[in-house]
Amino acid sequence: MWTPLLAFLPLVAAMRVDPERIAARLRIEAEIANDRGESLRSARDRRQLQPKEISIQVTAPLFSSRLFEFGKDAEDNEVPQALDVGKKVQLTNPLNYYGEDYNTLYVLSNGAIGFEANARTYKAGLFPTGARLIAPFWNRNDLRKGGHVYYREVTKGRVLERGQSEIRYQYDRSVHVKSAVIVTWEKMQPLEGTAALPEENTNTFQAALFITDNGTYANFIYSNIGWTQGAE
pLDDT at position 6: 62
In a domain, 39, yes or no: no
pLDDT at position 4: 54
How many structural domains compose the chain? 1
In a domain, 51, yes or no: no
In a domain, 140, yes or no: yes
pLDDT at position 50: 42
Residues of the chain falling short of pLDDT 70: 1-65, 127-130
pLDDT at position 193: 83
Position 126, amino acid: L
In a domain, 212, yes or no: yes
In a domain, 43, yes or no: no
pLDDT at position 53: 38
In a domain, 221, yes or no: yes
Tell me how far apart the alpha carbons of residues 21 and 8 are, in angstroms, rounded to a whole number.
21
Q: Which domain holds residue 183?
A: 72-225
- Tell me the chain's radius of gyration from C-alpha atoms: 17
pLDDT at position 173: 79
In a domain, 166, yes or no: yes
In a domain, 52, yes or no: no
